[in-house]
Structures are given as C-alpha cells and as structure tokens.
Amino acid sequence: QTSHLTHPQSKQYNSTRTRKTSTQEKIRRQHVRMISNKVLTHIILFAILLAIGSIVYSTHYVSIGDSFSRGQEHSSFSIFDEQEHEEATRSRTIPSQLELEQTVPDSARNSQDNAVKIVAFTDNDYSVVAKWWYTRMTELKYTTHTLVLINPAAVKAFNDTNNGGKEYYRFDVQIVDPGNRRKNMVRSLWYNRILYCLNQLKSGQSLLLT
C-alpha cells in the first residue's frame, strides 16, 4: 500500500519540477533577449549621434573655409597686419626681376601664361634647402617655380637676398601663425597651404606642389 501511495506523489513532484525548470528557462531567455535589445538600441543611438556629430563638424568647417574663400586673403591665423602685408607685397617686385625675365627664352615666356606653377612652401629654418631647390629648378630650365614663405623671418631674409642683387628668388607670402602648441602649428600650416592653393586655383592658375 505504501508503494502505491508514494508513486503518484513522486510522479507529481517530477512534473512540478519540470514545469518550474521550464518556467525559469523561459524567464532567463526573456531576460537575455531584453538585455540584447537594450544593447542593440544603445549601439544604434550611438551610431546616429556619431553621424549627426560628424555632419555638424564637417558643415561647420566647410562654412569656415567658404567664408575665407570669399575674397579674404588674411585668415584668423595671420600675424601680419594690413600695413605689413602691403609692404611685403610691394617688396616682392624688385628691379632684378626684369633682368631675370630677359634671360628667359621667348618660347618659354610665351607659354608661361598656360604654364603650371611649381610651388614649394618654406620658412626661414629651411631657407637653405629652399634656395638649393630653387637653384636646381632654374638649372633645369623651369621658369614658373615659386617659393611660398610662411613666416616673417623668411620674408625678410629673402627680401634682403633679392635686394642684394647677387641672387633672386621668386616667392609668394602665406603667413602661418605657429600657435602655442605643435598641434596648432600643424593645423595652421595645412590650413594655410590649402587656402593658398584655393586662391591660386580661383585665379585660374594650375599648381604642382612639392
């Protein structure tokens, strides 16, 4: 009689335990699914915010570049005031340039209007290398190679050299503000390089950068 009484109870216990285990498994799966959905939602929101931030960032700097390209030759990085810039511009045209042009063959002079301008950027620290490059280009019979000076010390040094009469170096001026940190100097350097190139291209001048 005892065995007949306990057997149904044991079977009922096992059934109850199975249902309890199944319920716990369902709850665990729902919990895992809920966590997965939350993680996926956060990832999607982060991606959307990152995309919006990128668009705002790029739009901001494109608008800055566009404002500078509308006839503003001096950027916020410039450390020349208007008077110094005008003096530097006037000092670039010196009598020795006419003497140099007289040595250029007529065929080369006639083709200069459509020639590609070969440009190298330099400061006063690299003036020796810049002069070597310029002299080498002249020896190879190039006629449109030009230095772009990026700091006032270089402008003064090359003006003094040109005014001395023994040497002549054709150059433009695009002053770069060094800033207080090297990171700012690099940003300003590339910004002014791009700004110079944009202004040249707008004027119809083709460029070859070194």
Mean pLDDT computed over 38-56 = 83
What is the pLDDT, as a whole number, of residue 88?
Answer: 46
pLDDT digits (tens, 9 = 90+) for 164-207: 988 999 999 998 887 777 777 788 888 899 999 999 999 999 99
Kind and range of the H or E run holding 119? strand 117-122
- Judge whether 174 and 102 are in contact, CB under 8 Å: no
What is the distance between the alpha carbons of residues 86 and 173, in angstroms, rounded to a whole number?
11
pLDDT digits (tens, 9 = 90+) for 122-136: 999 999 999 999 999
What is the distance between the alpha carbons of residues 24 and 3, in angstroms, rounded to a whole number?
31
Mean pLDDT computed over 136-147 = 95
What is the distance between the alpha carbons of residues 44 and 38, in angstroms, rounded to a whole number?
10
Bridge partners of 148?
121, 172
CA distances 162 to 128, 131, 138, 141, Å, are: 14, 12, 15, 20
Retrieve residue 116's tokens: 């590609």
| Residue 85 predicted with pLDDT over 50 | no
Bridge partners of 149?
122, 173
What is the pLDDT, as a whole number, of residue 40?
Answer: 83
